[in-house]
Amino acid sequence: MTTYPAPSPDLLLVHGGWHGPWAWDLLLPKLAGTVRTVALPSSGTDPRALGGYADDVEAIKTALAKSNDRPTVVVTHSGSGPAATQAVCGQRHVLGVVYVAAFVTDVGQSVSDLFSGPPPTWWELHPEEEYVDALTPLSTFYNDVPADLAEACAARLTHQSVAGGQAKLTDAAWRHMPTTYLVCDNDRTIPPSVQEQMAEHAVRVHHLPSGHSPFLSMPDELAAVISRESDEFMRARGSD
């Protein structure tokens, strides 16, 4: 009897702070199956129109609804981790979450609870308008990205709402479904030691010798991790 490989689950890619769906452009052609992205309202060019944490959660839920209940794996990067962790709760068609150097918080916990002290030195904070700009993206986000590409991406960065850092989760996906954490070992945005602490919530942990943006510096390697983990999530759901 001829056997055929199981179809790949859909993928939903959720960008991090200051970025947009364009961040995934190099990665998209390297992934199999149906791949969707979502634009988060907390990032944007108009600081007066920025959304908050709840808006990001709703945007992710809306994007998930477009899958028509097809098995889906969510990939979340950096600051979108908490919103994704909240948004996929109760979404039965979501097989699992891959956290790429992302913040992972627990119920009743916010990102600000993970840190103490002043804001990072690379933040340009606008407290009255409640947004922040990234001062040194070339060294902070793109330290291992080719210079031309890094400069082009830095030019596309937008403002970022700071409201999401204070939001506390009311539920956490990793309590209900398998999750994987990818630690970026040369990250200058979120210290790898902090990533490893957050990765304790995940079922599996992988490492890449990359900076904060492996979708730009190591897209082939990142695609391989996402593909393997998607297959693992699919097998785990099939054995339930």
CA 54/CA 78 separation, integer angstroms = 17
- Tens-digit pLDDT profile for residues 97-141: 999 999 999 999 989 888 878 889 999 999 999 999 999 999 999
Confidence of residue 237 (pLDDT cuts 50, 70, 90): confident
Enumerate the β-bridge partners of residue 72. Answer: 10, 94
d(CA 199, CA 31): 24
Q: Rounded mean pLDDT of 29-50?
A: 96
The arithmetic mean of pLDDT across residues 49-75, rounded, is: 96
Q: What percentage of the chain carries pLDDT values higher than 70? A: 97
Residue 85, pLDDT score: 97
- The predicted pLDDT at position 3 comes to 40
Query: What is the CA angle 21-25-27, rounded to 5?
Result: 115
CATH classification code of 10-238: 3.40.50.1820
pTM: 0.95
pLDDT value at 2 more than 60? no
Taking the C-alpha atoms of residue 221 and residue 143, their distance in angstroms, rounded to an integer, is 17
The average pLDDT across 45-57 equals 96
pLDDT band at 163 (very low <50, low <70, confident <90, very high): confident
Above 80 in pLDDT, residue 21? yes
Q: How confident is the model at residue 147 (pLDDT cuts 50, 70, 90)?
A: very high
How much is the pLDDT for 4? 38
Length of the chain: 240
Q: What is the mean pLDDT of residues 142-157?
A: 98
Q: According to the 3-state scheme, what is the secondary structure of the chain?
A: CCCCCCCCCEEEEECCCCCCHHHHCCCHHHCCCCEEEECCCCEECCHHHCCCHHHHHHHHHHHHHCCCCCCEEEEEEHHHHHHHHHHCCCCCCEEEEEEECCCCCCECCCHHHHCCCCCCCCEEEECCCCEEEECCHHHHCCCCCCHHHHHHHHCCCCEEECHHHHCCECCCHHHCCCEEEEEECCCCCCCHHHHHHHHHHCCEEEEECCCCCHHHHCHHHHHHHHHHHHHHHHHHHHCC
Average pLDDT in the 168-184 region?
96
The domains of the chain are located at: 10-238
